[in-house]
Amino acid sequence: MLIYAHRGYSAKYPENTISAFEAALPHVDGIELDVQLTRDGRLVVIHDETVDRTTNGSGYVKDMTLRQLRLLRTESGERIPTLEEVLLLIEKSDVTLNIELKTDQFDYDGIEYLAWLAVTEFKLEERVVFSSFNLDTLVRLRDVARDARIAVLTGDGHPQLMELVERVGAEAVHAQPEFVGTADAKTIRDQNRLLRLYTINDPHELPDMTGIDAIMTDEVELFQRIN
Ligand code: G3P
Ligand code: CA
Protein backbone atom coordinates (compact mmCIF):
# COMPACT_ATOMS: atom_id res chain seq x y z
CA MET A 1 0.00 0.00 0.00
CA LEU A 2 1.39 3.38 -1.01
CA ILE A 3 1.19 6.50 1.15
CA TYR A 4 0.28 9.88 -0.33
CA ALA A 5 0.64 13.01 1.78
CA HIS A 6 -2.69 14.85 1.66
CA ARG A 7 -1.96 18.57 1.06
CA GLY A 8 1.63 17.73 2.09
CA TYR A 9 2.42 16.76 5.66
CA SER A 10 -0.63 18.71 6.73
CA ALA A 11 -0.91 17.21 10.22
CA LYS A 12 2.31 19.00 11.21
CA TYR A 13 2.68 21.86 8.72
CA PRO A 14 0.24 24.33 7.19
CA GLU A 15 -1.53 22.56 4.33
CA ASN A 16 -0.38 23.05 0.74
CA THR A 17 2.80 24.91 1.69
CA ILE A 18 6.35 24.28 0.54
CA SER A 19 7.28 23.32 4.12
CA ALA A 20 4.46 20.75 4.17
CA PHE A 21 5.64 19.26 0.87
CA GLU A 22 9.33 19.21 1.84
CA ALA A 23 8.54 17.59 5.18
CA ALA A 24 6.44 14.91 3.52
CA LEU A 25 8.87 13.95 0.78
CA PRO A 26 11.17 11.63 2.78
CA HIS A 27 8.21 9.64 4.11
CA VAL A 28 5.84 9.14 1.20
CA ASP A 29 5.30 7.62 -2.22
CA GLY A 30 3.09 10.45 -3.37
CA ILE A 31 1.90 13.95 -2.63
CA GLU A 32 -1.59 15.32 -3.17
CA LEU A 33 -2.28 19.03 -3.63
CA ASP A 34 -5.04 21.36 -4.78
CA VAL A 35 -4.79 23.88 -7.61
CA GLN A 36 -6.84 27.02 -8.34
CA LEU A 37 -6.36 29.79 -10.90
CA THR A 38 -5.62 33.47 -10.23
CA ARG A 39 -7.25 36.36 -12.08
CA ASP A 40 -4.20 36.58 -14.34
CA GLY A 41 -4.30 32.88 -15.15
CA ARG A 42 -1.59 31.53 -12.83
CA LEU A 43 -1.83 28.11 -11.17
CA VAL A 44 -1.59 28.32 -7.40
CA VAL A 45 -1.64 25.63 -4.76
CA ILE A 46 -4.49 26.27 -2.35
CA HIS A 47 -7.47 24.19 -1.30
CA ASP A 48 -10.20 26.78 -0.87
CA GLU A 49 -11.62 29.16 -3.44
CA THR A 50 -10.83 31.98 -1.01
CA VAL A 51 -7.61 32.77 0.83
CA ASP A 52 -9.41 33.50 4.11
CA ARG A 53 -8.93 30.22 5.98
CA THR A 54 -5.27 29.60 5.24
CA THR A 55 -3.69 33.06 4.92
CA ASN A 56 -3.78 36.51 6.49
CA GLY A 57 -5.74 37.81 3.50
CA SER A 58 -9.32 37.78 2.39
CA GLY A 59 -11.11 37.25 -0.92
CA TYR A 60 -11.37 34.89 -3.85
CA VAL A 61 -8.28 33.51 -5.58
CA LYS A 62 -10.02 34.13 -8.91
CA ASP A 63 -10.23 37.87 -8.13
CA MET A 64 -6.54 38.32 -7.29
CA THR A 65 -3.47 38.53 -9.46
CA LEU A 66 -0.53 36.30 -8.61
CA ARG A 67 1.33 39.37 -7.38
CA GLN A 68 -1.46 40.25 -4.95
CA LEU A 69 -1.74 36.68 -3.77
CA ARG A 70 2.00 36.36 -3.18
CA LEU A 71 1.88 39.24 -0.70
CA LEU A 72 -0.21 37.08 1.63
CA ARG A 73 1.27 34.77 4.27
CA THR A 74 0.19 31.47 5.77
CA GLU A 75 0.44 30.92 9.53
CA SER A 76 4.02 29.73 8.98
CA GLY A 77 4.86 32.99 7.22
CA GLU A 78 5.02 31.31 3.80
CA ARG A 79 3.60 32.40 0.47
CA ILE A 80 0.92 30.42 -1.32
CA PRO A 81 3.02 28.26 -3.67
CA THR A 82 2.70 28.33 -7.41
CA LEU A 83 2.31 24.95 -9.07
CA GLU A 84 5.69 25.50 -10.75
CA GLU A 85 7.41 25.86 -7.38
CA VAL A 86 6.06 22.52 -6.27
CA LEU A 87 6.93 20.89 -9.59
CA LEU A 88 10.52 21.99 -8.98
CA LEU A 89 10.51 20.03 -5.72
CA ILE A 90 8.83 17.03 -7.26
CA GLU A 91 11.30 17.01 -10.15
CA LYS A 92 14.14 16.46 -7.69
CA SER A 93 12.34 13.59 -5.95
CA ASP A 94 10.95 10.26 -7.08
CA VAL A 95 7.41 10.61 -5.75
CA THR A 96 4.11 10.71 -7.62
CA LEU A 97 2.22 13.99 -7.60
CA ASN A 98 -1.57 14.06 -7.52
CA ILE A 99 -2.78 17.42 -8.80
CA GLU A 100 -6.40 17.96 -7.85
CA LEU A 101 -7.94 20.57 -10.15
CA LYS A 102 -10.25 22.45 -7.77
CA THR A 103 -12.98 23.39 -10.18
CA ASP A 104 -15.78 22.47 -7.79
CA GLN A 105 -17.17 26.03 -7.57
CA PHE A 106 -15.57 27.84 -10.50
CA ASP A 107 -14.89 26.43 -13.95
CA TYR A 108 -11.53 28.21 -14.24
CA ASP A 109 -11.15 28.81 -17.96
CA GLY A 110 -8.20 26.88 -19.38
CA ILE A 111 -7.00 25.38 -16.09
CA GLU A 112 -6.71 21.91 -17.64
CA TYR A 113 -4.44 23.07 -20.47
CA LEU A 114 -2.32 25.27 -18.19
CA ALA A 115 -1.78 22.48 -15.67
CA TRP A 116 -0.88 20.00 -18.39
CA LEU A 117 1.50 22.52 -19.98
CA ALA A 118 3.27 23.04 -16.64
CA VAL A 119 3.66 19.33 -16.09
CA THR A 120 5.00 18.72 -19.59
CA GLU A 121 7.49 21.58 -19.24
CA PHE A 122 8.95 19.72 -16.26
CA LYS A 123 8.69 16.42 -18.17
CA LEU A 124 6.75 14.98 -15.25
CA GLU A 125 3.90 13.46 -17.26
CA GLU A 126 4.63 9.96 -15.97
CA ARG A 127 4.77 10.98 -12.32
CA VAL A 128 1.69 13.19 -12.20
CA VAL A 129 -1.90 12.02 -11.74
CA PHE A 130 -4.65 14.58 -12.27
CA SER A 131 -7.95 14.36 -10.43
CA SER A 132 -11.06 16.47 -9.99
CA PHE A 133 -14.56 16.26 -8.57
CA ASN A 134 -15.68 18.21 -11.64
CA LEU A 135 -16.33 15.64 -14.31
CA ASP A 136 -16.35 18.23 -17.11
CA THR A 137 -12.83 19.22 -16.06
CA LEU A 138 -11.63 15.66 -16.55
CA VAL A 139 -13.26 15.42 -19.97
CA ARG A 140 -11.62 18.71 -21.02
CA LEU A 141 -8.29 17.53 -19.62
CA ARG A 142 -8.45 14.37 -21.69
CA ASP A 143 -9.24 16.48 -24.77
CA VAL A 144 -6.05 18.53 -24.35
CA ALA A 145 -3.83 15.85 -22.82
CA ARG A 146 -3.99 12.52 -24.56
CA ASP A 147 -1.27 11.03 -22.33
CA ALA A 148 -2.33 12.48 -18.98
CA ARG A 149 -2.79 10.09 -16.09
CA ILE A 150 -6.31 10.75 -14.79
CA ALA A 151 -8.16 9.66 -11.67
CA VAL A 152 -11.87 10.22 -11.17
CA LEU A 153 -12.50 11.76 -7.78
CA THR A 154 -15.65 10.84 -5.88
CA GLY A 155 -16.92 10.57 -2.33
CA ASP A 156 -18.62 7.22 -1.94
CA GLY A 157 -19.59 6.77 -5.59
CA HIS A 158 -21.56 8.30 -8.43
CA PRO A 159 -24.33 6.88 -10.68
CA GLN A 160 -22.31 7.52 -13.87
CA LEU A 161 -18.94 6.72 -12.35
CA MET A 162 -18.00 3.79 -14.57
CA GLU A 163 -19.16 5.58 -17.70
CA LEU A 164 -16.89 8.49 -16.86
CA VAL A 165 -13.96 6.26 -15.94
CA GLU A 166 -14.24 4.74 -19.41
CA ARG A 167 -14.77 8.07 -21.15
CA VAL A 168 -11.66 9.75 -19.73
CA GLY A 169 -9.58 6.57 -19.68
CA ALA A 170 -9.00 6.89 -15.95
CA GLU A 171 -6.26 4.80 -14.42
CA ALA A 172 -7.82 5.14 -10.98
CA VAL A 173 -10.69 6.22 -8.79
CA HIS A 174 -9.93 8.32 -5.72
CA ALA A 175 -12.65 7.80 -3.13
CA GLN A 176 -13.52 7.70 0.54
CA PRO A 177 -13.24 4.38 2.41
CA GLU A 178 -17.04 3.90 2.20
CA PHE A 179 -16.67 3.33 -1.53
CA VAL A 180 -14.64 0.16 -1.03
CA GLY A 181 -17.64 -2.16 -0.55
CA THR A 182 -19.57 -1.00 -3.63
CA ALA A 183 -20.12 -2.88 -6.89
CA ASP A 184 -18.25 -0.15 -8.78
CA ALA A 185 -15.21 -0.61 -6.52
CA LYS A 186 -15.19 -4.29 -7.48
CA THR A 187 -15.49 -3.43 -11.17
CA ILE A 188 -12.60 -0.97 -10.87
CA ARG A 189 -10.40 -3.71 -9.49
CA ASP A 190 -11.65 -6.31 -11.98
CA GLN A 191 -10.65 -3.90 -14.75
CA ASN A 192 -7.17 -3.60 -13.23
CA ARG A 193 -7.67 0.05 -12.50
CA LEU A 194 -6.42 1.48 -9.22
CA LEU A 195 -8.28 2.56 -6.12
CA ARG A 196 -6.80 5.24 -3.87
CA LEU A 197 -8.54 6.28 -0.67
CA TYR A 198 -8.75 9.65 1.08
CA THR A 199 -8.37 10.97 3.74
CA ILE A 200 -7.39 8.39 6.34
CA ASN A 201 -5.69 9.73 9.47
CA ASP A 202 -6.41 6.92 11.92
CA PRO A 203 -5.07 3.41 11.31
CA HIS A 204 -8.32 2.04 12.76
CA GLU A 205 -10.20 3.61 9.84
CA LEU A 206 -8.40 1.46 7.29
CA PRO A 207 -10.88 -0.77 5.43
CA ASP A 208 -10.00 -4.13 3.88
CA MET A 209 -7.01 -2.99 1.86
CA THR A 210 -7.12 -5.79 -0.70
CA GLY A 211 -6.59 -4.21 -4.07
CA ILE A 212 -6.10 -0.70 -2.67
CA ASP A 213 -3.18 1.04 -4.34
CA ALA A 214 -2.75 3.94 -1.94
CA ILE A 215 -4.18 5.99 0.88
CA MET A 216 -3.94 9.75 1.26
CA THR A 217 -3.24 10.95 4.76
CA ASP A 218 -2.33 14.07 6.71
CA GLU A 219 -0.44 11.85 9.20
CA VAL A 220 2.38 10.69 6.98
CA GLU A 221 4.76 9.45 9.68
CA LEU A 222 2.06 7.58 11.56
CA PHE A 223 1.20 5.54 8.48
CA GLN A 224 4.81 5.09 7.52
CA ARG A 225 5.38 3.38 10.86
CA ILE A 226 2.51 0.91 10.57
CA ASN A 227 2.99 0.17 6.90
O1 G3P B 1 -8.09 14.26 -3.52
C2 G3P B 1 -8.63 13.73 -2.38
C3 G3P B 1 -9.07 14.80 -1.41
O4 G3P B 1 -8.06 15.73 -1.29
C5 G3P B 1 -10.35 15.47 -1.83
O6 G3P B 1 -10.88 16.26 -0.82
O7 G3P B 1 -11.42 18.45 0.14
O8 G3P B 1 -9.34 17.31 0.80
O9 G3P B 1 -9.56 18.28 -1.46
P10 G3P B 1 -10.27 17.64 -0.33
CA1 CA C 1 -7.57 17.68 -2.45
Q: Where are the domains of the chain?
A: 2-226
Is residue 127's pLDDT more than 70? yes
**Under CATH, which architecture does the 2-226 domain have?**
Alpha-Beta Barrel (3.20)
CA of 175 to the centre of ligand 1 (A): 9
CA of 34 to the centre of ligand 1 (A): 8
CA of 198 to the centre of ligand 2 (A): 9
pLDDT tens digits for 161-212? 999 999 999 999 999 999 999 999 999 999 999 999 999 999 888 888 888 9
The pTM for the full model equals: 0.98
pLDDT tens digits for 46-88? 999 999 999 999 999 999 999 999 999 999 999 999 999 999 9
- Nearest CA among 159, 149, 145, 153 for reference residue 174: 153
Dihedral angle over CA of 64, 66, 72, 78, nearest 10: 150
Q: Which residue owns the Cα nearest ligand 1 atom 10?
A: 47
Radius of gyration of the chain (CA): 17
At residue 225, the pLDDT reads 67
The reply to whether ligand 1 has any atom less than 6 angstroms from the CB of 42 is no
Question: Given CA atoms 96, 174, 14, 52 in this order, what sign does their dihedral have?
Answer: positive
The reply to whether ligand 1 has any atom less than 6 angstroms from the CB of 6 is yes
At residue 205, the pLDDT reads 87
Contacts of 189 (CB under 8 A, 6+ apart): 195, 211
